[in-house]
Amino acid sequence: MSSPDVLKNVKSFMSILQVVGLVVFFLVLSGVFLISCERQIIFHPVKYPEGYWDPASRSIPVEDVYFTTGDGVRLHGWYVPSSGGAATMLWFHGNAGNLTHRLDNIEMLRSLHINLFIFDYRGYGKSEGEPNEAGIYLDSQAAYDWLVNIKKILPQKIVLFGRSLGGICAVEIAAKNPAAGVILESVFPSARRMAQKIFPFLPLGWAIKSRLDAIAQVPGLKLPKLFLHGTQDEVVPYKLGRELFAAAVEPKAFYDIEGAGHNDTYLVGGPAYFDALDRFIQNAISDGSRKNS
């Protein structure tokens, strides 16, 4: 090989090394950025007084509830009773806003004649502290404990409902506590799978510290499970909801919310959506009562 050819090959090799070096540098830089901003990417709390803090304007009877987590954080929630309600829904909301941003949804759920307890994770609404993965699990357990120990609701009368990030909390509680059933709406399998969705061309799974790993726990959940997902979900792709469902064991069911995105499921779903919730809740409560009779 002549000297010019050798020189040409060396230059080509050096160019390739430069490109590889730039790619590695960009991946490392992206990973550092992801790690430094991870909490801000996952959690989007809105603190009091922002929100819609007047449920009475919707004729919704609300009991303001304050309770304390295992690590001493004071949380706030709303308990919404229903006359003659046989079931109680423990609601784990998503990663943005606060409980007041679910007021219109709460109003619609009252047609099911169930008691409802929704609370804010640490750092949201009137709850103290700052959110993190370990913290929201402690918050969720404290909310469950309040229902069982303070409100004296029997576990077989409690249906866990988690939407989006809240579904991760619902799975966590279902894995450690008895309940009649669990409803998972617009829920993703894990933080790593979501990272792959957000950064499809960057292998940044190694940079994610948060696990939010529902798919590791759903195979162990023996209680009845209802999965719902908007077919046009722009935040958590429909196929990720199906992936989580596939990992679950029976009894389970999947409900497609045709045409719904991530935040309009109960609006687009309409009466059929609420009928699906009602059927599942009533069946789960009936099954739980038979098993404990």
Report the candidate in 237, 226, 139 with the shortest Cα–Cα distance to residue 185. 226
**Rounded (10°) angle between helices 165-176 and 133-145:** 60
CB 216 within 8 A of CB 244: no
Q: If DSSP codes are grouped into helix, strand and coil, which group holds residue 243? A: helix
Given the residues 93, 190, 210, 233, select the one marked as catalytic.
Answer: 233
Active site residue 164: yes
In what helix (H) or strand (E) does residue 42 lie, and over which residues does it extend? Answer: helix 3-42
CB 123 within 8 A of CB 117: no
Per-position b or e across 42-52, b if 16+ CB within 10 A of its CB: bbebbeeeebe
CB 262 within 8 A of CB 186: yes
Give the Cα separation of 202 and 260 in Å (integer).
Answer: 28
Tokens standing for 282?
A: 């009533």
Active site residue 76: no
Given the residues 127, 164, 186, 190, select the one marked as catalytic.
Answer: 164
Given the residues 93, 101, 229, 262, select the one marked as catalytic.
Answer: 262
Active site residue 233: yes
CB 233 within 8 A of CB 241: yes
Q: If DSSP codes are grouped into helix, strand and coil, which group holds residue 105? A: helix
Positions annotated as catalytic residues are 164, 233, 262
